[in-house]
Structure 1
Amino acid sequence: MGGTFNTDGTFSFYVNSSLIKSGDKVEIQGLHRTANGDTEILAKEKVEIAGFAGTIAPNAYTPGSSAITGSYTGDVNFARLVINGVPTDRWGGTFTNGTFSFFVTPGFIKSGDKVEIQAMHRTSTGDTKILDTKVVKINLQGTVSADPYTLGQATITGTFTGDVNFGRLYINGEHALWGGTYNEDGTFSFYVGRDLIKAGDVVKLEVIHRVSASDLTVLDSQEIEIK
């Protein structure tokens, strides 16, 4: 019982933040209390319970970093990661003033993973409700380390890391060839023929993540040593 009832016809009634839960049926009774403490119910009304609501907007994540960050709205105060469609046991996050940080063990998320973050409201009793789910964009990464090239060889060879799956060769600043074979063991070969590269040429290999002819991301490049 209680409440503050103002002369302008408005009132407020304090409730503990965890007392009323989503799905509860709540009614408030308006009483008159006499000086000796007797009460009489004058009116009663159902209280509409608004459900928890909120959204999340994660920033792109770079594999190897230790946190997913971003922003949120509403009642979000907790999160969980879903990787390749499977909910993980990675729960938590710090949610403050509209921004959040979610710790990720470096190496847990790998290039090629489909990562989602579920935004939740968690009550003081530990109950959770999913309010929003968003895909976390994974930044592409990759490097190349080409072996020295000997004039007359048919291929440029070397190693690569990350999301490299395509290459582009420049000779003296002009685009010459596309392609390359990029193996699961991190080695590559790029066919150039035996007479394309000549003494004195400046040769650069650009490595790329290629989704389609119009969707290319340059990841790294290296000038090739010519012997």
Structure 2
Amino acid sequence: KTVVTKGSSILDTSLTPDPYAKDSATLTGKYGKDIAKVRLWVNDVAVAQATTSNGDFTFTNVASFIKNKTDKVEVVGVDAQYNELNRKPVTLTGFDTLDNALTAPANFTLDQDTTINGTMGTNVAKVRLSVNGVIVKQATTSAGTYTITGANTYIKSTTDVVKIIAVDAQYKEVNTKTVTVIPNGSIYDYKLDANAYTFGDATITGTYGKDVTAVRLWVNGAPVKNASLSNGNFTITGLASITKATDKVEVVAVNASFQEVNRKTVQAGE
């Protein structure tokens, strides 16, 4: 005898995902007792399986899968044989707010700092260094961080106006931070003394302080060559560029940032 059953299924295959906020690490929700597993689908591809406990499910590392407001995001409940029992779309929130975040150090110390580091938001495409209103260098970027090396090449004075500027993919400025240039509290030995020189001498010699990294010969307002340095003494040979007694001859000391720190006249010129 055939037995006919009537009525609706009493299986509990309910599935309710919570809204997902942009960049959140997890996606959570509820599932019915007859669902064996809950899976995350993004753009019609299964990408992750949830951990489940007492009717609650949790996906982790979700931000690596859901990146754009146009992503199609669903949770799918399956039975023990992975037959689909229910499917629900996930509401995405916060994707209309662009992440233009930017951080930068408050200060840059002269004669000490060389690099500027910081972090940037996901909508920032490039980070640039501006000094006195001029873009001088673009940062290298990686995984939400940026690095500007050799910043000391461009930042020379406490009066410099230094800004870190973030732009989007269309090079539109989206954020900016001002960095204050401060002096180094250290006391440096930038001493420079030249021995007496008479036109026609084969060399120019003298002494320099321990924080001087190079001594240069200048003739008539232009750099000509570097001196050889040894234990606080400098020597400049090959003086063919000094052609007459009326040439203006100077020696110039620079520091590790190639900034001029001292200058002495060897021959006054006219």
* TM-score category, normalised to shorter length: 0.3 to 0.5
- Where relative contact order (Cα < 8 A, 6+ residues apart) is larger, the structure is 1
Which entry has the higher C-alpha Rg, 1 or 2?
2
TM-score w.r.t. length of structure 1:
0.40
Structure showing the higher strand proportion among its residues = 1
